Amino acid sequence: MDRRNLGGTFNQLFELSAALDPASIEEVYRIRHEVYCRDLGWEPLREDGMETDKYDPQSVHCLLRRRGSGEPVGCTRLVMAYPGQPEARLPFEVSCDEVIDRSIIDPRALPRQDIGEVSRLAVMSNFRQRKGESGTAVSISEEDFESRGQTPRFPFIPISLYLGAAAIARHLDVEHVFVLTEPRLAAHFTRIGFDIHGIGGTIEHRGTRMPSLISSSKVVANLRPLIKPLYEVIEAAVLENFRQNPEYLPALRARLAAGQPG
């Protein structure tokens, strides 16, 4: 792997897209079912083989496939808030209500159209089978930033999914992006210049988790030079997806404006 051109290397191996058409969205739900229901047992098995929840109608999904074969690799989503319904809280606002440090930021005081949450990040088991990963949907460790023999490593899969969600947030003008992560995962993202900050204490949610904040406007500016080509490749793909699906965004905005929680 040429660490001088992570964007080119990523493009050779993977294809990331905003899942804006029904077939792509269904594939996201099937990845989630495989990971959350079959592999980890965090959610009940569904007869249709698709894991969905009430936040999906207000979400934009991100899909990662292997280049060439189209093999599903992973997914995540950006959950949007309903602008006219502050009582319709995002997932983290419910689970982290008692641990958010509102002296840092108070999501309740922000314009609802300016906030979103990255959640339901899942990676297929054959792309995350490393020591200690059998009970987690995704992981990054120190080993991912070190050399293994003569081959440098880099955590393309989780980082690309987060960058994809950030690119979607930037395109939709969602400035304040919240995420519930392992504390050490946030620390690893900080290493590559990802603008992420803890905003409270930890909770127990499928492991120890901490609410954090990403400012989408600062994503590109703060990324290390090594990572920027990777983001640029991902952002270009996301923007092309929206260009090819011009009906998607007006329909999403209409759903959000109507305030129709799933």
How many other C-beta atoms lie within 10 A of the C-beta of residue 120? 25
**Residue 75 structure tokens:** 């997914």
Q: What's the whole-number mean pLDDT along residues 147-154?
A: 45
Q: How confident is the model at residue 94, as a pLDDT? A: 95
Which residues contact residue 65 at a Cβ distance below 8 angstroms, ignoring those fewer than 6 apart? 14, 15, 16, 17, 71, 72, 73
Q: Tell me: the pLDDT tens digits for 173-226?
A: 999 999 998 887 777 778 777 888 899 999 998 888 999 999 998 888 888 888
Instruction: Say if residues 26 and 34 touch (Cβ distance below 8 Å).
Output: no
Number of domains in the chain: 1
Phi, psi of 90 (to 5 degrees): -75, 160
Q: How confident is the model at residue 193, as a pLDDT? A: 79
Q: How confident is the model at residue 137, as a pLDDT? A: 56
How many other C-beta atoms lie within 10 A of the C-beta of residue 149? 6
Q: What is the pTM of this model?
A: 0.89
Q: Tell me: the pLDDT tens digits for 56-88?
A: 999 999 999 999 999 999 999 999 999 989 899
**152 against 212, higher pLDDT:** 212
165: containing domain: 3-249+254-258
Cα–Cα distance between 238 and 28 in angstroms, integer? Answer: 16
Cα–Cα distance between 9 and 242 in angstroms, integer? Answer: 24
Instruction: Say if residues 43 and 31 touch (Cβ distance below 8 Å).
Output: no
Smallest CA-to-CA distance from 234 within 183, 178, 179, 171 is with 171
What is the rounded average pLDDT for all residues in the chain?
87
Q: How confident is the model at residue 176, as a pLDDT? A: 97
Which amino acid type is present at position 236? Answer: A
Residue 55 has pLDDT above 50, yes or no: yes
Q: What's the whole-number mean pLDDT along residues 76-104?
A: 95
Question: For every residue of the chain, which 3-state class applies, written as one string?
Answer: CCHHHHHHHHHHHEEEEEECCHHHHHHHHHHHHHHHHHHCCCCCCCCCCCCCCCCHHHEEEEEEEECCCCCEEEEEEEEECCCCCCCCCCHHHHHCCCCECCCCCCHHHCCHHHEEEEEEEEECHHHCCCCCCCCCCCCCCHHHHCEECCEECCCHHHHHHHHHHHHHHHHCCCCEEEEEECHHHHHHHHHCCCCEEECECCEECCCEEEEEEEEHHHHHHHCCCCCHHHHHHHHHHHHHHHHHCCCHHHHHHHHHHHCCCC
Per-residue confidence band for 111, with pLDDT thresholds at 50, 70 and 90: very high
Sign of CA dihedral 246, 77, 95, 114: negative
| CATH code, domain with 172 | 3.40.630.30
